[in-house]
Structure 1
Amino acid sequence: MIRHCIIQHSKPIRLKRMESHRFALNLIHLRPGDVILLRGRGEIADQVRTVAGGEFTHAMLYVGDGSLIHSDIDGVHADNVQRLLFEDETDVLVRRAICAAHQQREQAITYVRRNIDVSYSVKEALKASKTGHWTDRSNRQFCSRLIAQAYQSAGVNLVPSPDYCTPNDLAQSTTLHSVNDCVHPASPEHITFALSDNPLDLQKTQTGLFFDAVRKITGEDIQKHEQLADHLIGNPHHDTSIAAAFVASGHLDLWKIDVRKNPWRYGRGPNLLPDRDQAQTLVLINDEIKSSSSMRSRFIHQYQVYSRVHHYHPREYFKAQMNLYLTLVAVHGARLITALSARNLFQGRRRKGSGSS
C-alpha cells in the first residue's frame, strides 16, 4: 500500500472532472528556479502524508518559458505549467531561493535538464521519509531529491540532506521563501488547454521505450543521454543498434506534431496568429519571441555538444542527434522569425490606428 501511495502521488494534480472552481499558476509571477510544491487530495494523498510527513506530496522545479521539470513514476521529465489545475488555491505553494544568484539558479536548471530520463525510485523515496543515515548509491531520482541535489550542485543547500529529503522538507527550508500571488482562477480557455491531449505524454513514452531498448542492448543501467554517450565512446560495437533504436523511437519526428497543430507559429498557416483581442495578441507574441529564442539557443548548444563528441568519436547515434538538433534549430528559428514579424505587423497596425484617431 505504501509503495502504491508514493507512486500515485508522485504525479502533479490534473483534474478530470468539470468542477466550477479551478485554479492555475500565474506565469507572470514565476521565476526560473522556483520550487513548486503540491498538496495532493483524497485518501491516497492522506496516506502519503502519513508516510512522508507534512502536507506536501510532490515537488517540481520551474525552468522558465512555461516549463517545469520533475521526477514522478515516469522518471525525470518536462511538463507544461499551464496544464496544472487545482481545486483550491492552497493546493500549491511556490518557494524561491532568494539568496541564490542568477548563475546558481541556471546551474540548478542545467542539473535537472541533465537528469531528464532518469528513472524514478520508490525505494529511494521511501528512505527519505525514514530516520537514519543513508548514502545515495542509486542511479535513480525522486521529486524532492532532484531539486535539492540540483541546488546543491550550484552551491546552495536547501536542506541538510539533499539525497534524502521530502517535499515537506523543502516547504520548511529556511533557504527558500514563499512567493505570494502565484495562483489565480483558471479561465475557460486555460482549462480547455490543460485537459487537451499533451504531446509531452508521447515524448515520455517514446523516451522510456528508447532507454528500455538501450539497457537491453548494452546490459547496463543507463538512465540518461550523458551515460549513453560515455558508453558509446567506449563500446562502439553497440552504436548501430542504438542509432536504429533512436530512429525507431520516433524522436526525429516529434516536432512535426506542433507544426501540424499550430501552423501559425511557424508561418505556415493562413493566419499569422489566432483570433484574439489586442492585449492577448501582444502577450502571445512576446511569449512566442521569448520561448522560441530560448529554445533555439538551447538546441544550438545541444547541437554543438554532439558535434564536438562526434568529431572525436564518430558514431551513428551522435550523428542522428546532431541532425535532430539542427532541425530543431531551424524549426524554432522559423518560429522566432514568425513571431518577430507578427510583432512588427501588430505595432504597425497600432500606430496606424492611433494616427487615424
Structure 2
Amino acid sequence: MKAIDYRRLQLGDILLTTSQGARSWSVRTGTKSDISHAMLYVANSSVIDSTSDGVHARNLQKVFYENDCAIYALRPIKPLTVEQRQTIIAYARSAIGTTYALREAVRSVTKPKGSGGVKQFCSRLVARAYAEAGIQLVDNPDFCTPEQLKGSPWLQELPSPAVEISAEEIAEIESRPNRADGMLQVTNAFLQQVRSFAPKVESINDALALLVSNQEFDDQVHAALKSSGYLDFWQRERQEFNWRYDLDAMKELASKEPNLLPDLKNYCLDSLRDIDNGDFDHWGRSLHAWRQKAQSSPLKSFLAMAQLHENLVEGVQLRRLVAESWLAK
C-alpha cells in the first residue's frame, strides 16, 4: 500500500489519483486515462474534493492507495501569488457541502460547451477554483475531466508524492478517530435539515446567506446548527488531543510516555510552521466576516457562527503558545 506525503506539497497544489472502484474504472475507461479523481491541497495534510458525499475536506494521512494506483501532484508553472492562492482555497472552502453533479460529471467526457450548474464534481471544483483566481487551466472549467487537468499547459508535474506504508502503520492510523469524516457527517446533517425548508441550498455558505433576505428562517437554521453538532464539533479535537492546547497536559504525556519526546518536538515544529504558513488564517478571516454580519443583523445563527470561529481562532493561539513554550524548554 502507499499514501501521499503531504509534506512535499504546497497550498494550492492539485492531486490526481485513482482507485479500484467501479466508478473509478468507468471514468478511466471513458477518458482513456490512468486517473479518475482530482483534489485540491488546502492546508496541513488537508485536501478538499467532491465525491458522492458532496464537497468536503479530507485528511490525507488517512487515505491509502493500492500500489498499482496512479498518483500525480501538479503545480502551476508560474508560481501562485499569495492573493491567487487565497482565492483558490477560499473558493473551495465556500463550496463545502455542495452536492455531487453526477450527470454533468459524466457529460464532461464529451467536452460540452456552455456553463454548468451550481453542483460540483471533482475536476470542476478544481478548475473553477483556479478560474476564480484568473487561471484558466482547461478550455471549459465547468466541464472537464481529471485527465484534462493532467494535460493542462499551465501545470507542471511534481516528483511523485507517493510513499510506501506498512499494514501496521495503516492499522495504527485507522485506530485514531477520523475528524474529517466526523466533520463531513455533521456538515451534511446540518445541510439536510436546512434543505428540508430551503431545497435550493447547496453549501454551508448558501445556508447562512439565505438569512440575509429571509430572516424568518433564523430559528430553524440556528436549531439545525445546534442539533447537527456543527457548532460543537471543534470540542472533539480539544478532548482527544488536549495536550496540544495545555502545556501541563503535554508535560504529563511526556512523563508517562518518554518515547514520544521526538514526536512531540516534531509536532511543535510542524505546528508552528503550519501556523506561520497561514494554514489557519481562514478562520480569522471568517471570524471577522461573521462579526460584521452579526453587527448588521444580530441573528442567532450569525452570532453562533461568530462564537464558533472565536473558539477556532483561540485554539490556534493556544497551539502556538504551547508549541513555543515546549520548544523553549
Q: Give the TM-score normalised by structure 2.
A: 0.90
Q: 1:297 maps to what in 2?
A: 281
Q: 2:107 maps to what in 1?
A: 127
| Structure 1, 157-166 or 78-87: larger mean CA deviation | 78-87
Native 8 Å contact 2:71 2:160 kept in 1: no
The structural deviation recorded for 1:147 is 0.3
- Give distance in 2, aligned partners of 1:275 and 1:240: 50
Amino acid across the alignment from 1:35: I
Q: 1:288 maps to what in 2?
A: 271
Q: 1:92 maps to what in 2?
A: 71
* Distance verdict in 2 for CA 1:277–1:199, change over 3 Å: closer
Amino acid across the alignment from 1:133: K
Native 8 Å contact 1:100 1:156 kept in 2: no
SS in 2 for 1:253: coil
The structural deviation recorded for 1:46 is 2.7
- Give distance in 1, aligned partners of 2:22 and 2:98: 29
State which structure, 1 or 2, has the greater radius of gyration over its C-alpha atoms.
1
- Give distance in 1, aligned partners of 2:132 and 2:217: 32
Q: 2:58 maps to what in 1?
A: 79
- Give distance in 2, aligned partners of 1:187 and 1:341: 34
Native 8 Å contact 2:34 2:70 kept in 1: no
* Distance verdict in 2 for CA 1:312–1:43, change over 3 Å: closer
Say yes or no: does 1:147 pair with 2:118. Answer: no
- Give distance in 2, aligned partners of 1:46 and 1:225: 31
SS in 1 for 2:78: coil
Q: 1:162 maps to what in 2?
A: 141
Say yes or no: does 1:216 pair with 2:179. Answer: no
- Give distance in 1, aligned partners of 2:173 and 2:101: 27
* Distance verdict in 2 for CA 1:45–1:245, change over 3 Å: closer
Match of 1:241 among 214, 220, 238: 220
Q: Give the TM-score normalised by structure 1.
A: 0.83
The structural deviation recorded for 1:204 is 1.0
What is the aligned length?
A: 322
- Give distance in 2, aligned partners of 1:129 and 1:334: 48
Q: CA RMSD in A?
A: 2.2
Native 8 Å contact 1:295 1:332 kept in 2: no
Sequence identity, in percent? 28
Amino acid across the alignment from 1:180: P
- Give distance in 2, aligned partners of 1:335 and 1:277: 18
SS in 1 for 2:253: coil
Q: 1:13 maps to what in 2?
A: none
The structural deviation recorded for 1:281 is 4.0
- Give distance in 2, aligned partners of 1:100 and 1:75: 29
Native 8 Å contact 1:148 1:159 kept in 2: yes
Q: 2:174 maps to what in 1?
A: 195
The structural deviation recorded for 1:70 is 0.5
Amino acid across the alignment from 1:80: N
> CA offsets, 1:250-302, max 9 Å, x none?
12221221222222111163225964466544322111223456465332221
SS in 1 for 2:20: coil
* Distance verdict in 2 for CA 1:181–1:139, change over 3 Å: closer
Name structure 1 gaps, 5 residues minimum: 1-21, 346-357
- Give distance in 1, aligned partners of 2:22 and 2:102: 19
Match of 1:110 among 90, 109, 112: 90
> CA offsets, 1:121-171, max 9 Å, x none?
1111111112432421x2200000000011111111111111000111111
Q: 1:258 maps to what in 2?
A: 237
